[in-house]
Chains A and B, each alone.
Chain A
Amino acid sequence: MELTGAEIVVRCLQEEGVEYVFGYPGGAVLYIYDEIFKQNKIKHVLVRHEQAAVHAADGFARASGKVGVALVTSGPGATNAVTGIATAYMDSIPLVVISGQVPTAAIGMDAFQEVDMVGITRPCVKHNFLVKDVRELALTLKKAFHIASTGRPGPVVVDVPKDVTIQKAEFDYPKKISLRSYNPVLRGHPMQIKKAVQLLLSAKRPYVYFGGGVILGNAADRLTRLVKTLGVPCTGTLMGLGGFPATDPQFLGMLGMHGTYEANMAMQHCDVLLAVGARFDDRVIGNPEHFYQEKRQIIHIDVDPSSISKRVRVDVPIVGDVGNVLEEILKLVQTSKERIDPAALKTWWAQIELWRAKNCLKYDRTSKIIKPQFVIEKLWEVTKGDAYITSDVGQHQMWAAQYYKFDKPRRWINSGGLGTMGFGLPAAMGVKLAFPRATVACITGEASIQMNIQELSTCKQYHLPIKIINLNNRYMGMVRQWQEFFHGNRYSESYMDALPDFVKLAEAYGHVGMRIEKPADVEGALREAFKLKDQLVFLDFVTDQTENVYPMVPGGKGLSEMILAEDL
Chain B
Amino acid sequence: MRHIISILIENEAGALSRVAGLFSARGYNIESLTVAPTEDASLSRMTIVTSGSEEVIEQIIKQLNKLIDVIKVLDLNEGAHIERELMLVKVKAEGEAREEMKRMSDIFRGRIIDVADNTYTIELTGNGSKLDAFLEALDPAQILETVRTGACGIGRGARVLRV
| B17 surroundings in chain A (CB, below 8 A) | 119, 122
Given A127-B68, A181-B69, list of 19 further CB < 8 A pairs?
A119-B17, A122-B17, A122-B18, A123-B25, A126-B68, A130-B14, A147-B68, A181-B10, A181-B68, A181-B70, A181-B71, A304-B66, A305-B65, A305-B66, A306-B59, A306-B63, A306-B66, A310-B59, A313-B55
Give the distance to chain A from B79, nearest Cβ to Cβ, in Å.
Answer: 21
Which one, B14, B21, B62, contacts A123 given CB within 8 A?
B21
A-B contact pairs, 7 of them (CB 8 A): A123-B21, A123-B25, A126-B68, A181-B9, A181-B71, A304-B66, A310-B59
**How far is B68's CA from A455's CA once the two chains are assembled, in angstroms?**
35
Closest to B72 in A: A181
**B17-39 contact mask (Cβ, 8 Å, vs A): 1 or 0:** 11001000100000000000000
| In contact, A118 and B55 (Cβ under 8 angstroms) | no
B→A interface (CB under 8 Å): 9-10, 13-14, 17-18, 21, 25, 55, 58-59, 62-63, 65-66, 68-71, 163
Residue of A nearest to B68 (CB): A127
Q: Is the CB of B21 within 8 A of A122?
A: yes
Query: Is A118 a contact partner of B14 (Cβ separation < 8 A)?
Result: yes
A309-B71 in contact given A122-B17, A122-B18 (Cβ < 8 Å): no
Cα A309 to Cα B57 with chains together (Å): 12
Q: Do most interface residues of chain A lie in helix, strand or loop, or is the interface mixed?
A: mixed
Most buried by A among B17, B63, B68: B68
**Chain B positions within 8 Å of A181 at CB level:** 9-10, 68-71
Residues from 167 to 188 in A contacting B, C-beta threshold 8 Å: 179-182
Give the interface size bracket for A toward B.
10 to 19
Minimum CB–CB distance from A292 to chain B (whole Å) comes to 13
- Indicate with 1 or 0, residue by residue over A278-316, a CB within 8 angstroms of chain B CB atoms: 000000000000000000000000001110111001000
Docked pose: A130 CA to B12 CA in angstroms: 11
| A126 to B70 CA separation, bound complex (whole angstroms) | 13
Interface residue SS majority, chain B:
helix
A380 to B71, CA, bound (A): 48
Docked complex Cα distance between A241 and B137 (Å): 65
Distance from A147 Cβ to chain B, minimum over Cβ atoms (Å): 6
CA distance A182 to B62 in the complex (A): 13
Known: A304-B66, A306-B66, A309-B55. A180 touches B18 (CB 8 A): no
Do B71 and A180 have beta carbons less than 8 Å apart? yes
B134 to chain A, nearest CB (A): 39
CB nearest neighbor in A for B70: A181
The proximity string for A residues 240-251 relative to B, scoring 1 for CB distances below 8 Å and 0 otherwise, is 000000000000
B66 partner residues in chain A, CB cutoff 8 A: 304-306
Q: How far is the CB of A468 from chain B (nearest CB, A)?
A: 36
In the complex, chain B residues whose CB is within 8 Å of the CB of A313: 55
- Determine the distance from Cα of A308 to Cα of B65 in the docked complex, in whole angstroms: 14
Residues of A within 8 A of B62 (CB): 305-306, 308
In the bound complex, how far is the Cα of B68 from the Cα of A346, in angstroms?
A: 47
B133 nearest CB across to chain A (Å): 38
Chain A residues whose C-beta falls within 8 Å of the C-beta of B70 in the assembled complex: 181
How far, in angstroms, from A181 to B10 measured CA to CA in the complex? 8
| Chain A residues within an 8 Å CB radius of B21 | 122-123
> What does the 1/0 interface line of A118-148 toward B look like (CB < 8 Å)?
1100110011001000000000000000010
Q: How far is the CB of A289 from chain B (nearest CB, A)?
A: 13
Tell me which residues across on chain B come within 8 A of A308, comparing CB atoms.
62
CB < 8 Å neighbour of A180 from B55, B59, B163: B163
Chain B residues within an 8 Å CB radius of A126: 68
Q: Distance in Å from the Cβ of B40 to the closest Cβ of chain A? A: 11
Residue in chain B with minimal CB distance to A124? B25
What residues of chain B lie closer than 8 Å to A127, measured between beta carbons?
A: 68-69
Chain B residues with Cβ below 8 Å from A130 are 13-14
A254 CB to nearest chain B CB (Å): 27
Least CB distance from A118 to B in Å reads 6
Most B-side CB within 10 Å, residue of A126, A147, A181, A306: A181
Which residue in chain B gives the minimum CB-CB distance to A319?
A: B62
Chain A residues with Cβ below 8 Å from B18 are 122
Task: Find out whether the CB atom of A182 lies under 8 angstroms from the CB atom of B68.
Answer: yes
Contact with B along A94-131 (1 / 0, CB 8 A): 00000000000000000000000011001100110010
Q: How far apart sit A180 and B71, CA to CA, in the bound complex (Å)?
A: 7
Q: Which residues of A65-120 have CB atoms within 8 Å of chain B's CB atoms?
A: 118-119
Q: Look across to chain B and name the residue whose beta carbon is closest to the beta carbon of A156.
A: B68
What string of 1s and 0s marks CB contacts (under 8 Å) between A406-436 and chain B? Answer: 0000000000000000000000000000000
List residues of chain B with CB within 8 A of the CB of A118: 14
Interface string of A365-393 (1 = CB under 8 A from B): 00000000000000000000000000000
CA distance A306 to B63 in the complex (A): 6
> Which residues of A sit under 8 angstroms from B163, Cβ to Cβ?
180
Least distance between B62 CB and chain A CB atoms (Å) = 4
The interface residues of chain B lying within 8 Å CB-to-CB of A309 are: 55, 58-59
**Cβ contacts A181-216/B at 8 Å (1 or 0 each):** 110000000000000000000000000000000000
Q: A309-B58, A310-B59 are in contact. Are A179 and B14 (CB under 8 A)?
A: no
Q: How far is the CB of B55 from chain A (nearest CB, A)?
A: 7
Q: How far is the CA of A214 from the CA of B14 in the complex (A)?
A: 33
Please indicate the chain B residues that have their CB under 8 angstroms from the CB of A179 in the complex. 68
A122 proximity list for chain B (CB < 8 A): 14, 17-18, 21
| A313 vs B53: C-alpha distance when bound (angstroms) | 13
Q: Which residues on B sit within 8 Å (CB–CB) of A180?
A: 71, 163
- Most A-side CB within 10 Å, residue of B17, B18, B25, B66: B66
**Nearest-CB distance from B96 to chain A (Å)?**
53
CA distance A313 to B59 in the complex (A): 12
Query: Using Cβ atoms and an 8 Å threshold, which residues of chain B touch A305?
Result: 62, 65-66
Q: How far is the CA of A73 from the CA of B18 in the complex (A)?
A: 24
Chain A residue nearest to B24 in the complex (CB): A123
